[in-house]
Amino acid sequence: MMKNNFASIHSRKENGTDSARSLLTEGVTASVWTPDYVLRLRQNIHLCGCSGCDGASPLLQFRWNNHVRHSADISCNRAAAEILSLTASCTLSVSEDLAEHLPELSAERLQMNQHCLRLFAAFRTEPVLLLYALYGFIRQSGPLDPERRAALLETWLQPAGRQRLVQDFCLQQDEHGFPPVAGQRLEALPIWLLVDSDARLHKLKAMRKKGEETLRQTWRGLQKASRARRKILGNFLFYELCHNFFPGHLVPDWENNFADLCRRALSLLLLLTAVSPELDKESLSALFAASHRAARREAFS
Ligand SMILES: [Zn+2]
């Protein structure tokens, strides 16, 4: 089914097994995917005592019979710092482990997540274009069977396919802008929960009341933003794809999951307009972690 190996994946096994192929093989072993931010967090795990982790490990594991996914809780300051790090490679290490008696992760779900990660590898330097590619891909893939989805992805990753995608994206940008902002309820973003209590975010106050055109400009601004800002947003998209197994389990949910992804990315984007990542990396990741904690408190209150 898969023709190419993951561009950004390398296998930790030394025996040269085809990692992309083994990812989709069902058998007695489980494929273990470990993003680079997890590897860095493991190196000095006890260094944080923020109110997100309280000194406990922010590392997480999602386990199935045939798959283990390592990740971390982004509401911990240190986890957020590693996830958003300007030097993050945004790669996955793939290894194998013995299967446990657990439910199985569906091969289709894993395959779609893998396809989206390959789109990430192809368009990672341009986050808005990446979102456009993800959106187009999940819309077209929904009704297709797994083999056609794989074939569609291969077409998109060919030079001609990429070129067509960029052209379509530019047309779309001129007409309506991308991503679609109609569903991105500006007032519901978690970042607002911090605006009144943190002086660094006061300049965002005025934006809260602005309408869709401001939102469109915010997304457009990202394309001209510094490399550091685009890198940080790209890192976050990598985290989202890994952590939430984007686009998710049920096809009818995919577009909603995409809209949620855009909302969370927009929250980070607004933060990037208030806090300069070049000057204050620590503040940026700590504030982003704090916005996730605030959103969680809000959800449970
Ligand atoms: Zn912490």
Q: In what order do the strands lie in the sheet with 9-11?
A: 9-11, 92-98, 29-35, 67-72, 59-63
pLDDT at position 21: 41
SS (H, E, C) the chain: CCCCCCCCEEECCCCCCCHHHHHCCCCCEEEEEEEHHHHHHHHCHHHCCCCCCCCCCCEEEEECCCEEEEEECCCCHHHHHHHHCCCCCCCEEEEEEECCCCCCCCHHHHHHHHHHHHHHHHHCCCHHHHHHHHHHHHHHHCCCCHHHHHHHHHHHHCHHHHHHHHHHHHHHHHHCCCCCCCCCCHHHCCCHHHHCCCHHHHHHHHHHCCCHHHHHHHHHHHHHCCHHHHHHHHHHHHHHHHHCCCCCCCHHHHHHHHHHHHHHHHHHHHHHHHCCCCCCHHHHHHHHHHHHHHHHHHHHC
Cα-to-centroid distance, 168 and ligand 1 (Å): 42
Cα-to-centroid distance, 19 and ligand 1 (Å): 33
In a domain? residue 109: no
pLDDT at position 22: 44
pLDDT at position 210: 72
pLDDT at position 189: 78
pLDDT at position 182: 61
In a domain? residue 199: yes
Cα-to-centroid distance, 165 and ligand 1 (Å): 40
**How many domains would you assign to the chain?**
1
Cα-to-centroid distance, 284 and ligand 1 (Å): 14
pTM: 0.88
In a domain? residue 277: yes
pLDDT at position 224: 85
Cα-to-centroid distance, 286 and ligand 1 (Å): 9
> Residues lining ligand 1 (ion), CB within 5 A?
48, 50, 52-53, 76-78
Cα-to-centroid distance, 283 and ligand 1 (Å): 13
> For 161-174, what is each residue's pLDDT tens digit?
999 999 999 998 88
Cα-to-centroid distance, 282 and ligand 1 (Å): 12
> For 201-255, what is each residue's pLDDT tens digit?
888 887 777 777 787 888 888 888 899 999 999 999 999 999 999 999 999 999 9
pLDDT at position 4: 31
Structural domain range at position 250: 140-300
In a domain? residue 97: no
In a domain? residue 78: no
In a domain? residue 265: yes
In a domain? residue 295: yes
Local confidence pLDDT in tens for the 301 residues of the chain: 233 333 223 223 223 334 444 444 445 689 999 999 999 999 977 679 999 999 899 999 999 999 999 999 999 999 999 999 999 999 999 999 988 889 999 999 999 999 999 999 999 999 999 999 999 999 999 999 999 999 999 999 999 999 999 999 999 888 877 887 766 666 677 788 888 888 888 888 877 777 777 878 888 888 888 999 999 999 999 999 999 999 999 999 999 999 999 989 988 998 998 888 877 778 899 999 999 998 888 877 7
In a domain? residue 96: no
Q: Which of 210, 214, 225, 209 is nearest to 273 (CA)?
A: 225
